[in-house]
Amino acid sequence: MDLIELDGVEKVFDVRRRTGFMRREKRQVRAVDGISFTIPRGEMVGYIGPNGAGKSTTIKMLTGILTPSGGRLRVAGIDPARERTRLASRIGVVFGQRTTLWWDLPLKDSYRLMHRMYRIPDARFAANMERCVELLDLAELLDVPVRQLSLGQRMRGDIAAALLHDPEVLYLDEPTIGLDVVSKSKVRQFLRDLNAELGTTVLLTTHDLTDIEQLCKRVMVIDHGRLMYDGALAGLHEVGESERMLVVDLEQELPPVETDLARVVKVEGPRQWLAFPASVSAAPLVAQLAASYPLLDLSVREPDIEAVIAKMYAGGADGAQGARLV
* Residue 321 contact among Mg ion, ligand ATP, none, beta carbon within 5 to 8 Å by kind: none
For ligand ATP, the closer CB: 57 or 183: 57
- What residues from 38 to 67 belong to the interface with Mg ion (CB under 5 A)? 55-56
CB of 53 to ligand ATP, least distance (A): 4
Chain residues binding ligand ATP by CB under 6 A are 13, 15, 29, 31, 49, 51-57
Residue among 59, 53, 68 nearest 13 (CA): 68
Give how far the C-alpha of residue 319 lies from the chain's centroid of Cα atoms, to the nearest Å.
Answer: 23
For Mg ion, the closer CB: 55 or 115: 55
3-class SS of residue 203: strand
CA pair distance 47, 216, nearest whole angstrom: 10
* Strands 2-20 and 70-75, bridge-based pairing: antiparallel
For Mg ion, the closer CB: 111 or 313: 313
* Residue 52 contact among Mg ion, ligand ATP, none, beta carbon within 5 to 8 Å by kind: ligand ATP
DSSP code string of 1-19: -EEEEEEEEEEEEEEEEEE
CB of 160 to Mg ion, least distance (A): 22
CB of 71 to ligand ATP, least distance (A): 15
For ligand ATP, the closer CB: 18 or 116: 18
Which residue has the CB atom at the shortest distance from Mg ion?
56
* Strands 218-223 and 44-48, bridge-based pairing: parallel
CB of 240 to ligand ATP, least distance (A): 20
Residue among 205, 231, 227 nearest 51 (CA): 205
Residue among 52, 301, 307 nearest 315 (CA): 307
What size, in residues, is the chain? Answer: 326
* Residue 103 contact among ligand ATP, Mg ion, none, beta carbon within 5 to 8 Å by kind: none
CB of 184 to ligand ATP, least distance (A): 18
Q: Are 231 and 237 in contact (CB under 8 A)?
A: no
For ligand ATP, the closer CB: 29 or 267: 29
Which secondary-structure segment (H or E) carries 301?
strand 295-301
Number of residues that bind Mg ion (CB under 5 A): 2
* Residue 31 contact among ligand ATP, Mg ion, none, beta carbon within 5 to 8 Å by kind: ligand ATP
Classify residue 194 by its DSSP letter.
Answer: I
For ligand ATP, the closer CB: 32 or 101: 32
CB of 11 to Mg ion, least distance (A): 13
Phi, psi of 182 (to 5 degrees): -70, -45
**Residues at the contact surface with Mg ion, assessed by CB under 5 A:** 55-56
